[in-house]
Each structure stands twice: as structure tokens, then as C-alpha cells.
């Protein structure tokens, strides 16, 4: 019972991060399940089954709060579902270690770019509530994001959210809400692929239910949070999360010692925190009314 309660808490926190920042649920939950001894395929299958429910709740919450661009959802989510099914059905049992390092390099670079851009000079169209991107970008992005998500136990948010935010042409709340909503199609398709490839043997429905309950509780809170945070602050926070997450992956892959990893992450964390404070101050200053002069 205690184990299930802990898993429910993990599901809650993971969905809170995912719903507010557009990424993190799969990576957080899958990491815990791997530590618990599940194989990569079963861990990913369990997470995606839970995500079918959490993504549905998250998408509904984002829609009610006006965070969803349905055209973006369709153009990104449908190819994402195709990529997820392919990854789950055919590649779930293959090692994707070689791709992990390459993806971490790309995401860390994009995370740094987003962090600096939103903290110092937010994109001029960062408040655009309708995405101008066409299928030429969204179809290959969806295919890649869905494939990585299914084979790695998570990655739809980091790939899709990072790429769309780095373009700087859509408001962060719209990107996050639309990516979260489209992830329902990705999770559903990946789950079907896993069930066809693996069957239901080995999948612990108690784990799935615990993750699902925690995620359902957090979904509306996260959607409300992202609708209230300013674009400058939210974009900077997302960039910091991406940078820290992928920097750790690169340091571990390079064989860096535990103390040095902590040192590098602390330095990067301080940089991200400084940028976030700067972005918050700039937002407060911009939102404050201009002082008026009184003449006698």
C-alpha cells in the first residue's frame, strides 16, 4: 500500500511538472519504474497506459482555460501517434543508448537558447495564441517526438515543446497546452503498440492505477498554473528545466564522477535561477504602470 501511495505522489508531481512546463511526466515516472526493477519496455508501457488518462484530463483542463490551438494539436498529434506506434511495436526492446546522448546534446543546446532568449529578449511573437507553423515542420516533428517517446519511456514534451518554443512564434501557454493535448493521441497509440508487441503479461495494473490517480489530481492544477504564468517567466523556467535535465544525462554518459556532476549541475542551476529572477524582475517592471508627473 505504501508503494502505491508513493507512486501516486510521483504521478502527481510528474503531471504537475508536465502540465505546467509541457514535459517531464514520462521521464520522471519511467526513471522510478526502472529503479524498481521493471524492464524498459514494461516501464514505458505502464507509463503510457497511465498517460492515456492523465493526458485526457490535462487536455480537457487546458482547453477549458484557452491554452489549446486545435489546428496545432491535429498537425502534431496525428504523426506523433504514428511515430509512437512504430516505436512501441517494433523498437521497444532495442537499446536506444546511442540516441540518448545525441538527443541530450540537441535538447541541452535548445534549452540554453530558450533560457537566454526568454530571459534577456523574449520573442516578439511570444504571445501569439495561434501557431503559424505548417505541416512541413509539424509532421516530421510529430513523427520524431512520438518515436522517441515510445522507445525511451518519455520524450514527447522535451522534443515537441522544446522545438516549438525555440522557434519563438507561439505563446508558451499555447505550446504547452497543445503539446499536452496532442500527447493523448501519442500515449493511446503507444499503448496499443506495446499491448500488441508485449501482450498484457508483466504489466502491473496497480502501478498504472497509482500513476493515473496522482496525475488526474494534478492535471487541472497544472493547467491553471500555466494559464497564469507570464510568457517571459514560463519560457525561462522551461529552458532551465531542459538544460539541467539533459546536462545530467551528458555528464553521466561521459563518466563524470558524482561530485563533479553535482558541481556542474549546481553551477547550471545557479545560472538558471539567476535568469529566472532576472526574467521575473523584467516582467514586473514591464507590467508596472508608468509613473505620471504632477504639475503644480
What is the C-alpha to C-alpha distance for residues 191 and 209, in angstroms, rounded to an integer? 15
What pLDDT, in 10s, does the model give residues 5-51? Answer: 877 888 887 777 777 666 778 877 887 777 677 777 788 888 899 98
Beta-carbon count within 10 A of 287 CB: 8
What pLDDT, in 10s, does the model give residues 58-95? Answer: 889 889 989 999 999 999 999 999 999 998 887 666 66
pLDDT, position 98: 62
pLDDT, position 296: 42
Whole-model pTM: value is: 0.76
pLDDT, position 273: 94
Residue 172 CB-half CA count within 13 A: 29
H-assigned helices in the chain: 2-21, 25-35, 40-64, 70-91, 97-120, 135-152, 156-167, 172-198, 205-228, 231-253, 258-287
- Count of all residues that appear for the chain in the document: 296
C-alpha cell at 18: 508536465
Mean of pLDDT over the chain = 83
pLDDT, position 181: 94
Measured in Å, how far apart are the chain's first and last C-alpha atoms? 73
pLDDT, position 75: 95
Amino acid at each position: 500500500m505504501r508503494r502505491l501511495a508513493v507512486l501516486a505522489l510521483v504521478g502527481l508531481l510528474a503531471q504537475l511538472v508536465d502540465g505546467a512546463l509541457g514535459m517531464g511526466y514520462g521521464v520522471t515516472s519511467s526513471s522510478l519504474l526502472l529503479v524498481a526493477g521493471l524492464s524498459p519496455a514494461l516501464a514505458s508501457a505502464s507509463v503510457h497506459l497511465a498517460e492515456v488518462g492523465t493526458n485526457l484530463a490535462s487536455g480537457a483542463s487546458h482547453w477549458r482555460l484557452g491554452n489549446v490551438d486545435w489546428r496545432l494539436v491535429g498537425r502534431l498529434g496525428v504523426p506523433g501517434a504514428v511515430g509512437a506506434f512504430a516505436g512501441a511495436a517494433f523498437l521497444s526492446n532495442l537499446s536506444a543508448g546511442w540516441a540518448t546522448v545525441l538527443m541530450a546534446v540537441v535538447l541541452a543546446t535548445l534549452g540554453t537558447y530558450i533560457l537566454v532568449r526568454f530571459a534577456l529578449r523574449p520573442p516578439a511573437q511570444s504571445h501569439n495564441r495561434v501557431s503559424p507553423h505548417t505541416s512541413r515542420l509539424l509532421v516530421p516533428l510529430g513523427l520524431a517526438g512520438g518515436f522517441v517517446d515510445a522507445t525511451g519511456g518519455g520524450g514527447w514534451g522535451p522534443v515537441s515543446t522544446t522545438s516549438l518554443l525555440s522557434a519563438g512564434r507561439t505563446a508558451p501557454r499555447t505550446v504547452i497546452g497543445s503539446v499536452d493535448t496532442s500527447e493523448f493521441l501519442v500515449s493511446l497509440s503507444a499503448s496499443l503498440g506495446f499491448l500488441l508487441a508485449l501482450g498484457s503479461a508483466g504489466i502491473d495494473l496497480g502501478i498504472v492505477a497509482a500513476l493515473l490517480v496522482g496525475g488526474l489530481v494534478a492535471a487541472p492544477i497544472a493547467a491553471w498554473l500555466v494559464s497564469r504564468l507570464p510568457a517571459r517567466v514560463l519560457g525561462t523556467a522551461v529552458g532551465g528545466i531542459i538544460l539541467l535535465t539533459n546536462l545530467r544525462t551528458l555528464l553521466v554518459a561521459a563518466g563524470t564522477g558524482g561530485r563533479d556532476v553535482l558541481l556542474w549541475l549546481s553551477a547550471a542551476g545557479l545560472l538558471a535561477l539567476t535568469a529566472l529572477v532576472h526574467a521575473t524582475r523584467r516582467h514586473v517592471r514591464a507590467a508596472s504602470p508608468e509613473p505620471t508627473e504632477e504639475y503644480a
